[in-house]
Amino acid sequence: MTLQPNLNAVLHGRYRIEKVIGQGGFGNIYLAEDTRLSGRLCAVKQVRYDPAFTPEMLREARDQFMREATVLARLDHPNLPKVSDFFSIDESDFLVMDYVPGDDMRALISKAESANKFLPENEVLKWAVQIADALSYLHGQNPPILHRDIKPSNIKLTPTGLVKMVDFGLVKLLAPGEVTITILQGQGSAIYTPLEQYGGDSFHTDARADIYAFGATLYHLLTNTTPINVRDRFLDPKNLPNPRAINPAVSPRVAEAILWAMELHPDNRPQNVNAFIKALTGESTDSLLKFSGKSQYIPKPRFGTAEVRLGIAASALVFLSLLLTLLRNL
């Protein structure tokens, strides 16, 4: 039976539960006081596993949690909350992180909407640089780490102006050749999730999935408008409005970079966070025409050649596979 901590309950002989600060299908997050360090507040995340798991699947998932928690505890970056502890009680697993004060960016969007204003582009870009630095750090680990649930409500702005990416609930370690089980068996938030992530672990996801969600988050921050769900975009790829059509104050460079990050096919997106942030900030004049940091234009093929026909056929098979997965999840 899954443990349901009561208020004022002390977990692991140390963490006194004060209140619930986050809830979802994958578990709860509690604000807790660390009784061993007076005055220290922390966020305690309880992992909830799929009740349909067989005993073997549950055992594998819990083993995966321990492996991933061990890796997360070693991370040290100013834009990521520090994971300080993890433990199990009966059939429940818990992850302890620094509590991050301040508003999340969904709240900042709501405030801008209430004032009938948009968040200033220069401020959003300052935040974007910090987010990009954290993602580069995660993706640069060995093996690389994906966040897989980047969205405004998972990004907080502290009173000192520091951006923190919170909620590691969907973190996935990319071990070469290994099909992993994500800690919480989730697919991210639909509005910000790329098409390939709907396939779960049966489809290969990499850093470009985080780049899509990053771009979708910036789209929301600059337009006060949630992006079109990727399922609807797949059926009509032209139905995503240019950010400038909603907020004319968005610069053409930033709008084009965001749309690049939100390309449906991962091969058509920036191949790493650095390429995206360079395009976004204007540090590289032709970044939007590059892939994988290569300084060469992608030539337009002449239709009718055997190579192009093979390329079109291969792309069609990829999208057909994604479509079948999409339909199974509808």
149 is known as an active-site residue: yes
Question: Residue 77 class from Cβ within 10 Å (0-12 exposed, 13-18 middle, 19+ buried)?
Answer: middle
What pLDDT shows up at residue 198? 77
What pLDDT shows up at residue 81? 93
Residue 260's pLDDT band (cuts 50, 70, 90): very high
Q: What is the Cα–Cα distance from 255 to 210, expressed in whole angstroms? A: 18
Q: What does DSSP assign to residue 68?
A: H
Same domain for 77 and 115? no
Same domain for 36 and 21? yes
Residue 298's pLDDT band (cuts 50, 70, 90): very low
| Residue type present at position 317 | L
- The encoded tokens of residue 271 equal 């191949």
pLDDT tens-place string over residues 110-141: 999 999 999 999 999 999 999 999 999 999 99
Same domain for 83 and 229? no
> How many residues are recorded in the chain?
330
Q: What is the Cα–Cα distance from 264 to 224, expressed in whole angstroms? A: 22
Answer whether 13's CB lies under 8 Å from 36's CB. Answer: no
- Catalytic residue, chosen from 149, 167, 201, 286, is 149
Domain boundaries, position 43: 10-98
Q: Report CA-CA distances (Å) from 276 to 60, 154, 228, 286, 294.
A: 36, 20, 20, 11, 13
The CATH number of the domain where 79 resides is what? 3.30.200.20
Same domain for 49 and 147? no
- The encoded tokens of residue 170 equal 């969907």
Q: Is residue 306 part of a domain?
A: no
Q: Is residue 80 part of a domain?
A: yes
What pLDDT shows up at residue 28? 87
Residue 321's pLDDT band (cuts 50, 70, 90): low
The structural domain count of the chain equals: 2
Q: Is residue 134 part of a domain?
A: yes
What pLDDT shows up at residue 91? 83
Same domain for 42 and 134? no
Q: Is residue 199 part of a domain?
A: yes
Same domain for 91 and 110? no
Name all contacts of 37-41 with Cβ < 8 Å and 24+ positions apart: 41/99
Same domain for 162 and 287? yes
Answer whether 304's CB lies under 8 Å from 176's CB. Answer: no
Residue 187's pLDDT band (cuts 50, 70, 90): very low
Question: Residue 191 class from Cβ within 10 Å (0-12 exposed, 13-18 middle, 19+ buried)?
Answer: middle
Nearest to 238 by CA among 246, 228, 247: 228
The verdict on pTM exceeding 0.75 is yes
Does residue 55 have a pLDDT over 80? yes
Which SS3 state, helix, strand or coil, does residue 61 take?
helix
Q: What is the Cα–Cα distance from 151 to 220, expressed in whole angstroms? A: 9
pLDDT tens-place string over residues 189-213: 778 989 888 765 545 789 999 999 9
The CATH number of the domain where 201 resides is what? 1.10.510.10
What pLDDT shows up at residue 71? 87
